C-alpha cells in the first residue's frame, strides 16, 4: 500500500497527464509530461519499499 503522500503524487500526475493527453486545459507540455513520468517512476518504488512489510 502506498503512503498518503505517494497517493497524492500519483493522483496529481494522473490528472496532469490525463489533461495533457485529452487536450483538456493541460498545464504541461511534452517536456513536462516526460518529467512527470520520470518523477513517478522514481517515487513509486521508494514508497512501495517504505510501506512494504519486508522493508
C-alpha distance from residue 43 to each of 17, 18, 23, 25, 47 (Å): 16, 19, 26, 25, 6
**Inter-residue contact 40 to 10 (CB < 8 Å):** yes
pTM above 0.85, yes or no: no
Per residue in 18-51, pLDDT tens?
Answer: 887 887 766 777 888 788 888 888 877 877 655 4
- What is the structure's pLDDT at 48? 63
- What is the structure's pLDDT at 1? 65
Mean pLDDT to the nearest integer, 2-18: 81
- What is the structure's pLDDT at 5? 77
Amino acid at each position: 500500500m502506498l503512503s498518503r503522500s505517494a497517493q497524492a503524487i500519483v493522483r496529481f500526475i494522473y490528472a496532469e497527464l490525463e489533461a495533457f493527453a485529452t487536450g483538456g486545459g493541460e498545464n504541461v507540455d511534452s517536456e513536462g509530461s516526460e518529467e512527470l513520468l520520470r518523477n513517478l517512476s522514481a517515487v513509486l518504488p521508494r514508497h512501495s519499499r517504505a510501506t512494504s512489510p519486508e522493508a
